[in-house]
C-alpha cells in the first residue's frame, strides 16, 4: 500500500493497493462513511481494502475533509470531486468503480453525477466523470429525506449548514438522477443507522438505471466486514 496526496491538507490523501497483474482490472474506489464527521475516517475500511486487494482487485481509499474538522460545506464536496477527478491518472487509466459506504455512498453517487449540475455550480463538469459504475452500500442516497428524519442528530444540517434547502439541489443524489452510469445499491433491511427507506425511495425515483438489492437481516456494517459472508456480494459486483 502507498499513500498519495491530491491536496495540501492532511486529510487530502488516497491510499492505493495495486496487486501485481491488476493493471487491466477496474479499481475499487472506497469512500468511507461516518455521517461526514471528523470522528470517522478511512481506517475502518482498511481490512476490507486488504481483502479486496488479496483477490487481485486494485483499491483506492479516499480520505476527505470532514464536518467538525476542516470539512463540511463546501470542503467535503471539493475534496471528493478533486479526488475522483485525480484518480484516472493516478491509477493509469483503469476504469473506476466508486464503492461508497453510508455517507460515503452519498458522496460516491454525488461525485458520479456532477455533470448534471448547472454550469454555475462550483462542482459542475462538462463531461461525465470517468466512473464506470457506482456500488453504494447502505447509502445516504436521499439527502432531503435524511434531513427530514433528522438522522444522526441532524447530520445533514451539520454538513450543509443553515441553508440546507438552498444547497440540497447541488448535493442530493436524488436531484441528479439519472446518473448516466450503472448503479447498484446494497442495503440491508436490518440497518438501524441508515433506514432502508432511503434506498427504496432512490431506486424508485431512478427507475431501471439503479439496481437495488436488500438482503434480509443485514445491518449497516456487514457489507464492509471481510469476515461476513454478505461482503461477498460486494466482491461479486467488482469481479
Question: What is the DSSP code string of the chain?
Answer: -EEEESSSSTT-EEEEE--TT-TTSPEEEEE--STTBTT--GGGGHHHHHHHHHTT--EEEE----BTTT-STTHHHHHHHHHHHHHHHHTTT--EEEEEETHHHHHHHHHHTGGGS-TTSTT--SS--S-SEEEEES----HHHHHHHTHHHHHHHHHHTT-HHHHHHHH-GGGG-S-SS-EEEE--TT-SSS-HHHHHHHHHHHGGGEEEE--TT--SSGGG-TTSGGGHHHHHHH-
227 pLDDT above the threshold of 90: yes
What CATH architecture applies to the domain 2-238?
Answer: 3-Layer(aba) Sandwich (3.40)
Where do we find the cell 493493471? 23
Where do we find the cell 444522526? 152
pTM of the shown model: 0.98
- Quote the mean pLDDT of the chain: 97
Per-residue pLDDT, averaged over 167-185, amounts to: 97
pLDDT in tens, 12-25: 999 999 999 888 89
Per-residue pLDDT at 21: 87
Per-residue pLDDT at 213: 98
Per-residue pLDDT at 239: 84
Amino acid at each position: 500500500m502507498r499513500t498519495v496526496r491530491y491536496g495540501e491538507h492532511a486529510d487530502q490523501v488516497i491510499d492505493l493497493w495495486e496487486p501485481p497483474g491488476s493493471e487491466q482490472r477496474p479499481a475499487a474506489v472506497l469512500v468511507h462513511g461516518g455521517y461526514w464527521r471528523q470522528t470517522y475516517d478511512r481506517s475502518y475500511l482498511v481490512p476490507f481494502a486488504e481483502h479486496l486487494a488479496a483477490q487481485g482487485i486494485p483499491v483506492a481509499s479516499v480520505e476527505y475533509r470532514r464536518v467538525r474538522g476542516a470539512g463540511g460545506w463546501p470542503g467535503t464536496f471539493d475534496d471528493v470531486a478533486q479526488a475522483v477527478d485525480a484518480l484516472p491518472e493516478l491509477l493509469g487509466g483503469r476504469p473506476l468503480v466508486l464503492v461508497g459506504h453510508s455517507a460515503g455512498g452519498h458522496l460516491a453517487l454525488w461525485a458520479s453525477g456532477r455533470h448534471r449540475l448547472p454550469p454555475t455550480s462550483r462542482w459542475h463538469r462538462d463531461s461525465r466523470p470517468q466512473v464506470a459504475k457506482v456500488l453504494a452500500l447502505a447509502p445516504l442516497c436521499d439527502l432531503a429525506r435524511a434531513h427530514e428524519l433528522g438522522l444522526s442528530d441532524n447530520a445533514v444540517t451539520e454538513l450543509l449548514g443553515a441553508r440546507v434547502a438552498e444547497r440540497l439541489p447541488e448535493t442530493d443524489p436524488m436531484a441528479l438522477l439519472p446518473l448516466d452510469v450503472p448503479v447498484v445499491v446494497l442495503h440491508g433491511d436490518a440497518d438501524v443507522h441508515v433506514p432502508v427507506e432511503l434506498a427504496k425511495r432512490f431506486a424508485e425515483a431512478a427507475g431501471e438505471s439503479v439496481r437495488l438489492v436488500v438482503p434480509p437481516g443485514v445491518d449497516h456494517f456487514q457489507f464492509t466486514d471481510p469476515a461476513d459472508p454478505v461482503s461477498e456480494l460486494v466482491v461479486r459486483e467488482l469481479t
